[in-house]
Amino acid sequence: MKKLQIYYLFYPDFDKYPHPALKTSIQLNLETLKVTYRDYSTSKNPPILHRKETFVVPDYTLYEQFTKLTCIQEALGLLDNTKGIGTTYGWQQKQQDYSVEIQGYFLI
C-alpha cells in the first residue's frame, strides 16, 4: 500500500554542486495531515542528492549536464548500492574506493 505524501526537499546549492547536501525536509502525510520536519543544516554527514536530472524538466538549463554526469557515474558503477552512497561520508568513501574525484561536473 502506498502512502499519500508530499515532500519538500531544500537543496540551497542545487545548481552549484553535482551532489548537493540536503539542508531541510518537510514531509506531509496527506492521509493523517501529519507534518514531519527534519533539519540537516548542522549535520556532519547529511543526505546528498544523486541523479539530479530526475528532479528537473528536460528543458532545465543544466539538464544535459546533470544527465551526462549521471551516465558516467552509472557506467563506472558509482551509483550502485544506493544505501551506501546516500550521505556525504558514504559518497566520499565510494569515490575513494573507485579512485575518482568530482570537480565541478567532471570526473577525474
DSSP three-state, residue 78? coil
Span 24-29, mean pLDDT? 97
pLDDT digits (tens, 9 = 90+) for 51-70: 999 999 999 999 999 999 99
Residues above pLDDT 70, as percent of the chain? 99
Judged by average pLDDT, the poorest of 4-8, 27-31, 101-105 is: 101-105
**Average predicted confidence (pLDDT) for the chain:** 94
The three cell numbers of residue 29 are 502525510
Q: Is 107 exposed, middle or buried (0-12, 13-18, 19+ CB in 10 A)?
A: middle
pLDDT in the model for residue 107: 85
pLDDT in the model for residue 29: 95
